[in-house]
Amino acid sequence: MDRLLTPPHRGREKSQRWDGPARPRHGQTDERPLAPALTLSIVIPARDEAAGLEQLVQELTDAFDQLQYRPARWGHPLPSYEIVIVDDGSRDETPQILQELSLRYSKLRRLRLTRSAGQSAAMFAGFQAARGTWVAVLDADLQNPPAELARLWDFLPGHDAVFGWRQQRHDSWVRRAISSLANRVRNWVLQDSIRDTGCSVRIFGRDQALRLPRFQGAHRFLGPLLQREGCRIAQVPVTHRSRTHGRSHYHFWNRSLNVLVDLVGVVWLKSRSIRYEVATESGSGRAVPFMQASGRPLESPVLSGSESS
């Protein structure tokens, strides 16, 4: 049974930091020295999205600068962030546009893959290159407003992840019908309650992201895969816009049929989860805290609102 998500905590929260070793770089990145660990890395796979990149980076900067510099009493603090755009082997002017934007926006990092490897591969490359304790994901097509991703940050306290779900989709009725059917089938087969698996507006821990199994199409199953890791996921309604730049890289044949194959694999992964609990630590005589990786779906609190269309 879904429950209403309580309003975000408005008190002062202690920010989380990670001070581990530097990550290896993948693809071609800017030759900038690695800074100390950041709070949030916004990872955006992009392929042939040159026309909308300037607007994307500007909207992201406007939204997240407001979070970074607002008084702490106004919401969950965001001490620092970066934007990591992963160029998935674009054939348009995406590399040149990103080069120009990186000179104007200090928080922007660009990572270019040698050839197109797919959205899931670009996403995982971004996770690997990220320097933040938390990672956020967003599509580059601007259909999900960057301001909505920033709004999710205030819902993070008390949860391991926050997922958006689209209240009113501005897509063709065919795409909406296919997406709605796919959501219902996935939730029925996997026995979980992820409301909108196609919504790209998400925030979760980088450590959890790096533990996820890597396969083509994994970006469509982030909810079940994170639940498999024991994550508590909050779900929040977000707005949606019509696509004004570029074109979609997905259609019925490369989405729906592939998803059915991937769905069988995710069912297998969840059924083969390793579950154990350490009773005591040798020589200590004390209980050891345990994070269970379970195939059982966890409760996902959802904000009230109309169903995703």
Q: 204-249, pLDDT tens digit by residue? A: 999 999 999 998 988 888 988 998 888 999 999 999 787 666 665 5
**Secondary structure tally for the chain: helices H, strands E:** 8, 8
Residue with tokens 């996935």: 186
Rounded CA-CA distance 309/304 in Å is 15
- Alpha carbons within 13 angstroms on the beta-carbon side of residue 188 total 7
Tokens of 196: 């909108």
In tens, the pLDDT along 285-302 reads: 555 444 444 333 444 444
CB 203 within 8 A of CB 138: no
pLDDT at 16 over 80: no
3-class state of residue 305 by DSSP? coil
- Report the chain's C-alpha Rg in angstroms: 19
pLDDT at 52 over 60: yes
pLDDT of 275 = 73
pLDDT of 194 = 83
pLDDT of 174 = 58
Strand order in the sheet with 38-46: 28-29, 108-112, 81-87, 38-46, 132-137, 202-205, 161-166, 233-238
In tens, the pLDDT along 257-270 reads: 777 788 888 888 88
| Residue type, position 204, single letter | F
Pairing label, strands 38-46, 81-87: parallel
pLDDT at 28 over 70: no
Rounded CA-CA distance 308/239 in Å is 10
Rounded CA-CA distance 203/161 in Å is 6
pLDDT at 3 over 80: no
What pLDDT band is residue 22 in, cutting at 50, 70 and 90? very low
28-42 mean pLDDT: 62
Q: Where does 28-271 sit in CATH, by number?
A: 3.90.550.10
pLDDT at 199 over 50: yes
Written as one string, the DSSP assignment of 127-165 is: HHH--EEEEEE--TTSSS-HHHHHHHGGG-TT-SEEEEE
CB 135 within 8 A of CB 209: yes
pLDDT at 146 over 80: yes
134-141 mean pLDDT: 95
The mean of the pLDDT values for the chain is 78
Residue percentage of the chain with pLDDT more than 70? 68
pLDDT at 111 over 90: yes
pLDDT at 305 over 90: no
In tens, the pLDDT along 159-179 reads: 999 999 887 665 555 565 666
Print burial letters for 248-273: b (CB count within 10 Å at least 16), e (below 16).
Answer: eeeeeeebeeebeebbeebeebbeee
pLDDT of 307 = 39
Can you name the residues that pair with 46 across neighbouring β-strands? 87
Sketch the domain layout of the chain as residue ranges: 28-271
Rounded CA-CA distance 146/137 in Å is 10
